[in-house]
């Protein structure tokens, strides 16, 4: 690959990766009319990454961004929607994958030797854990649950 092709590929990959990032100012740009209609204290709260009881879904999106999961629940009083935010962290891989492998010598003759090392084809195993759950009823925040692990 020529240097110009590599640099173009690097630029494309950078742009694609940056577009996936969402910050409060970029979310405000997406909902300018709503944001500028709010009082200054509410604007500060949203820019600080907080949501409160009574805020609507757009306000919560500005504050927290897109949820990792959306859970819907039917109750006797109607439908509730929960936005769940998660942390992903590496987790240890347990188990054994000891195996025998062929060992060859100069003459081409070989034998099998027991290899006592653990091998895994997935170098990282990630576990997602909920850290925040925001429940909406009637389109507004009805409860906020911070989950400590």
Q: Is residue 141 a contact partner of residue 135, using CB atoms and an 8 Å limit?
A: yes
d(CA 84, CA 140): 15
- Give the pLDDT score at 45: 96
In eight-state DSSP terms, residue 24 is: H
Question: Which tens digits make up the pLDDT trace of 26-63?
Answer: 999 999 999 999 999 999 999 999 999 999 999 999 99
- Give the pLDDT score at 101: 52
Number of domains in the chain: 1
Domain that holds residue 118: 3-146
Q: Is residue 121 a contact partner of residue 37, using CB atoms and an 8 Å limit?
A: no
- More reliable by pLDDT, 45 or 17: 45
Query: Percent helix, strand and coil across the chain, each rounded to 5?
Result: 30, 35, 35
| H helix intervals, 20-138 | 24-30, 32-37, 40-47, 57-64
Q: Among the listed ranges 84-93, 110-119, 125-134, which one has the minimum average pLDDT value? A: 110-119
- Give the pLDDT score at 90: 74
């Amino acid at each position: 690959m020529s240097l110009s092709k590599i640099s173009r590929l690097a630029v494309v990959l950078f742009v694609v990766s940056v577009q996936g990032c969402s910050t409060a100012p970029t979310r405000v740009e997406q909902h300018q009319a709503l944001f500028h209609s709010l009082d200054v204290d509410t604007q500060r709260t949203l820019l600080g990454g907080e949501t409160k009881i009574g805020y609507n879904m757009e306000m919560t999106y500005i504050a927290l961004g897109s949820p990792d999961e959306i859970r819907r629940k039917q109750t006797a009083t109607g439908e509730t929607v929960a936005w769940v935010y998660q942390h992903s962290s590496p987790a240890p891989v347990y188990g054994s994958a000891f195996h025998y492998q062929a060992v060859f010598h100069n003459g081409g003759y070989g034998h099998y030797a027991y290899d006592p090392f653990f091998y895994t084809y997935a170098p990282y195993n990630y576990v997602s854990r909920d850290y925040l759950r925001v429940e909406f009823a009637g389109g507004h925040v009805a409860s906020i649950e911070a989950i400590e692990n």
